[in-house]
Chain A
Amino acid sequence: MTTLTLSRALNEGLRKALENDPKVLIMGEDVGKLGGVFRVTDGLMKDFGENRVIDTPLAESGIVGTAIGLALRGYRPVCEIQFDGFVYPAVDQIVSQLAKMRYRSLGNVALPVVIRIPCGGGIGAVEHHSESPEVLFTHTAGLRVVACADAADAFTMIQQSVSCDDPVIFFEPKRRYWDKGEVDTAAGVADALPLDRARVALEGADVTLLCYGPLVRTCLESAIAAREDGRSVEVVDLRSLSPLDTEVITASVRKTGRCVVAHEAPVYAGLGAEIAARVTEQCFYCLEAPVLRVGGFHTPYPPSRLEEHYLPDLDRILDAVDRTFGY
């Protein structure tokens, strides 16, 4: 076991992927010499060369579009989008091309492209640097959408994503890049929890708290705080946002009878809505309260001096947990 920051764990995972398969490429803005603005690709160009670690021209549609071409030619590109708010110029390539090529070719084409996107707020950034656009992609069939929450998962999930034959949108919780965790860098990924499975991060009995990415840590802290009120909160890290691991979700809710979904993205038409509907459909007779959601508002991401109010924090999550006991 080694102690690594989440950013370093991704770096180690990418390094493994580059070592294990000569077809793996890294591409994006500033990923080479600079090592990415969050240093996730630090040192990779130096060690694997400019043919495999590519500083691209400044154009996101170009990054994803050429990654598709490279994939058609047998490569496995891992694209970096510098910040969440800059993925939109690439949305046409992602939604109309990347997601649909397998379907359109009747299965004759696989596009093993990974698109890494640092997401979420909490770092005091200027606009377009704090968004959570995951539902654009979960709403698009043909894409796998995952979010890592800690260093250990970052290390394995990035490798699993690279070896996945479907396109993967890989969300990285940017305010957690510097969080440290224990990582077994010697372990292979074969025995690891599969990419599309959720994980019970903390067992509990009274209420299920579903979360992913940056809010996993916040939810774990909330669960610990809730113990003071005598409440036992089960925290489930979804990990895969599409497909959703409904098995783990419903098993937990059937056990606890209560469910709260937390995400940074706006609540309105967010992933929580989909989860609430599914939980209601599948666990109706076990529910003691309606499924509640905590998340961002139906507003643009505010200036950073207001983000502490926009982002669900421990208090807002506990408030929702409390409310599920009021029914």
Chain B
Amino acid sequence: MTVESGGATTAALQDHASQAPGTPGTPGEAGGLVQLLTPEGERTDHPGYPLDLPAADIRGLYRDMLLVRRIDTEAISLQRQGELGIWASLLGQEAAQIGSARALAAHDMVFPTYREHGVAWCRGIDPAKLLELYRGVSHGGWAPEEHKFGLYTIVIGSQTLHATGYAMGIQRDGAVGGDGAEAAIVYFGDGATSQGDVNESFVWASVFNAPVVFFCQNNQWAISEPLERQSRIPLYQRARGFGFPGLRVDGNDVLACYAVTKKAMQAAREGQGPTFIEAFTYRMGAHTTTDDPTRYRLASELEMWKLKDPIERVRAYLVRTGQAGPEFFAEVDAEADQLGSRVREACRTMSDPPPLAIFDNVYTEPDAIVAAEREQFAAYLDSFVDGEGEGR
């Protein structure tokens, strides 16, 4: 069974980009945090990021965030019930992911970590594919080009170089500037900024002026290590040293994340090179379902961040401005319930691949060694089969 995802609703948002002139990121850099919606749900303005989204689009962002939070909640309980091996929760990071992903054009390429369930949703990846990975049924298995969404990357930071190389390919294809211009965006964490690969990707992107946006979700923690273990300066300030603009956005503000990403991607597509976006957010859950954050952080910190919940503020704003009423919220809740049960069902009815699938896709053409091992293993499995043996 498959679960349809949110890919289709992207289009509505494409036309309302803020296209303010100027170097991307500069206003953010000067003015500190870019914020367009306060934690209380008050709309604020930022000179570098004028944004005028129609009510339907803001409701769409709310819906996306609520639905991906539901996928997340379901996945956590599925893990508790033994249906998944592990799960990396996106709780608290919905705005950073939905805001940035909805700002992308359909043909922009995305390079995710392992926590980008909200971005995956926006790229039309069936949530069941994510469950497959965390259940241990596949290593991902989707076709990156089809969704313009790379495979989940667990080795910290590797994908930043892939995104940069991909962006260099965009340049060489002449797809920078003009109609149909493309750019790449890469997601990574605060911890990842210490990796050599990530720093190398900054150098590459900078000297080749590659059309790539570095979207760092600073959720304050890398498992048990706080941000101070990775950096003594705000992360976005690192970009300047590499020769491109960096800015910090309120990562719990979906409008601001949308606006800054829109602008940075546009700049990249136009040939202005990379931007570093630091989405200042918080990992509200454990690192993964096997982690116990009480060992290393205070509950009071979480309480403080709960007041900045990314979904609540949009709800407050929609209600206050009369852009959504009780029926809308009830509708989205009902939709989330349906999605939740589809996700559960998809997980529970998911079958394991046959054992001989181990040998598939190692090389383009079957390799002699792999083929021989496959044959031997098939014969070995057959030695157990007497009618009721499992299929291979």
Q: Cβ of B357: which chain A residues have Cβ within 8 Å of it?
A: 302, 306
How far is B357's CA from A86's CA once the two chains are assembled, in angstroms? Answer: 25
User: Please, how many residues of chain B have a CB less than 8 angstroms from a CB on the other chain?
Assistant: 46
Return the contact of B369 from the options A35, A126, A298 (Cβ within 8 A).
Answer: A298
Minimum CB–CB distance for B135 against chain A, Å:
7
Beta-carbon contacts under 8 Å, A57-93 to B: 57-59, 61-62, 85-86, 88-89
Main secondary structure of the interface of A (DSSP, over half): loop
Contact A62 B358 (CB under 8 A): no
Q: Cβ of B370: which chain A residues have Cβ within 8 Å of it?
A: 297-299
Does A268 have its Cβ within 8 Å of any Cβ on chain B? yes
Does B195 have its Cβ within 8 Å of any Cβ on chain A? yes
Contact A268 B230 (CB under 8 A): no
Return the contact of A33 from the options B136, B291, B295, B374 (Cβ within 8 A).
Answer: B295
Q: Cβ of B374: which chain A residues have Cβ within 8 Å of it?
A: 297
Q: Cβ of B369: which chain A residues have Cβ within 8 Å of it?
A: 268, 298
Minimum CB–CB distance for A69 against chain B, Å:
16
Beta-carbon contacts under 8 Å, B176-224 to A: 191-192, 194-197, 222-224
Contact B136 A57 (CB under 8 A): no
Return the contact of A306 from the options B197, B290, B355, B383 (Cβ within 8 A).
Answer: B355
Beta-carbon nearest neighbor of B136 in chain A? A304
Does A300 have its Cβ within 8 Å of any Cβ on chain B? yes
Beta-carbon nearest neighbor of A56 in chain B? B229
Beta-carbon contacts under 8 Å, A247-291 to B: 267-268
Does A309 have its Cβ within 8 Å of any Cβ on chain B? yes
Beta-carbon nearest neighbor of A268 in chain B? B369
Minimum CB–CB distance for A236 against chain B, Å:
24
Beta-carbon contacts under 8 Å, A86-111 to B: 86, 88-89
Contact B373 A33 (CB under 8 A): no
Q: Cβ of B362: which chain A residues have Cβ within 8 Å of it?
A: 298-300
Does A125 have its Cβ within 8 Å of any Cβ on chain B? yes
Contact B222 A126 (CB under 8 A): no
Known: A89-B196, A298-B362, A299-B362. A58 touches B222 (CB 8 A): yes
Does B318 have its Cβ within 8 Å of any Cβ on chain A? no
Known: A126-B85, A300-B362, A305-B135. A57 touches B194 (CB 8 A): yes
Contact B195 A126 (CB under 8 A): no
Minimum CB–CB distance for A79 against chain B, Å:
15
Beta-carbon nearest neighbor of A57 in chain B? B194
Return the contact of A86 from the options B86, B155, B194, B380 (Cβ within 8 A).
Answer: B155
Contact B196 A34 (CB under 8 A): no
Q: Cβ of A315: which chain B residues have Cβ within 8 Å of it?
A: 384
Beta-carbon nearest neighbor of A36 in chain B? B224
Beta-carbon contacts under 8 Å, B148-185 to A: 154-156
How far is B122's CA from A37's CA once the two chains are assembled, in angstroms? Answer: 32
How far is B138's CA from A34's CA once the two chains are assembled, in angstroms? Answer: 30
Minimum CB–CB distance for A147 against chain B, Å:
23
Q: What 4 additional pairs, Cβ within 8 angstroms, besides A298-B369, A306-B352, A316-B380? A: A58-B191, A298-B367, A303-B136, A306-B358
Listed by A's residue number, 14 A-B pairs whose Cβ atoms lie within 8 Å are A29-B222, A30-B223, A34-B296, A55-B229, A58-B156, A58-B195, A61-B196, A62-B196, A125-B86, A126-B133, A128-B154, A268-B369, A299-B370, A303-B136
State the A residues within 8 Å of B (CB). Answer: 29-30, 32-35, 37, 55-59, 61-62, 85-86, 88-89, 124-129, 267-268, 297-300, 302-307, 309-310, 315-316, 319
